[in-house]
Chains A and B, each alone.
Chain A
Amino acid sequence: AQRVTQPEKLLSVFKGAPVELKCNYSYSGSPELFWYVQYSRQRLQLLLRHISRESIKGFTADLNKGETSFHLKKPFAQEEDSAMYYCALSYNQGGKLIFGQGTELSVKP
């Protein structure tokens, strides 16, 4: 069965420190992986997708099929990065998503 695991419920770092939010998935085919972010009092929104190989707000994520991981990284965290981050997987080219449990990122001044 398809599954997405985010092992950390809470990640707390200081401003300017590097941050890595972990995401591992289980799926035997070729998945599409995403990171969604939810800032306080705002709706869930797409941060980035592995197909685009883009960098949004300084965040990047590389799909590692060998390790079945899609970790989200940023070299220098900012206070405004504090939010809930959800890793998600889409399979069979379907629009439905399977989400991880989310990681709360807290960036302290």
Chain B
Amino acid sequence: ETGVTQTPRHLVMGMTNKKSLKCEQHLGHNAMYWYKQSAKKPLELMFVYSLEERVENNSVPSRFSPECPNSSHLFLHLHTLQPEDSALYLCASSQDQYGTRAFFGQGTRLTVV
């Protein structure tokens, strides 16, 4: 699939589990982002990576740990999450961190039980 792909689409995990969300883009972009979409809240920017370096961390708890091994892949490692972390997690990419045309993945629906 071209564009931005996220796996898995759905994830249910216990509070003591460790899981990872994966995002892959085939657009040749150099910037990638994690957003969180909670019920009744606007989309919130979590992390920004540019050329595989983290350039922004918006006060996200350490139980969320991003990883960007190369410009095409972005991971979000999850551990000891709380039920309030249940949300839709969206990955996006853009040409660079100054290019504001962002392309989004379909998201991972995360439920923490």
A: residues with CB less than 8 A from B are 4, 32, 34, 36, 42-46, 49, 86, 88, 90, 93-102
What's the interface size class on B, roughly? 20 to 34
* Chain A: CB-nearest residue to B47: A96
Report chain A residues within 8 Å CB of B102: 46, 95, 97
A95 and B99 contact, Cβ closer than 8 Å, known pairs A43-B105, A86-B43: yes
A93→B48 contact, CB < 8 A: no
- Provide the B84-99 mask, 1 if CB < 8 A to any CB of A, else 0: 0000001000101111
Contacting residue for B94 out of A88, A95, A99, CB 8 A:
A95
> Could you tell me the distance between the alpha carbons of A46 and B101 in the complex, rounded to whole angstroms?
7
A100 and B42 contact, Cβ closer than 8 Å, known pairs A95-B31, A95-B97: yes
Report chain A residues within 8 Å CB of B45: 96-98
Contacting residue for A94 out of B97, B101, B104, CB 8 A:
B97
A99→B42 contact, CB < 8 A: yes
> Could you tell me the distance between the alpha carbons of A49 and B100 in the complex, rounded to whole angstroms?
9
> Could you tell me the distance between the alpha carbons of A42 and B94 in the complex, rounded to whole angstroms?
19
Report chain B residues within 8 Å CB of A46: 101-103
A101 and B41 contact, Cβ closer than 8 Å, known pairs A45-B104, A96-B48: yes
Contacting residue for B48 out of A34, A88, A95, CB 8 A:
A95
* Chain A: CB-nearest residue to B32: A95
Q: How far is the CB of A76 from chain B (nearest CB, A)?
A: 27
13 A-B pairs with CB atoms under 8 Å apart are A34-B100, A43-B105, A45-B104, A46-B103, A86-B42, A93-B100, A94-B48, A94-B97, A94-B100, A95-B97, A95-B100, A98-B42, A99-B43
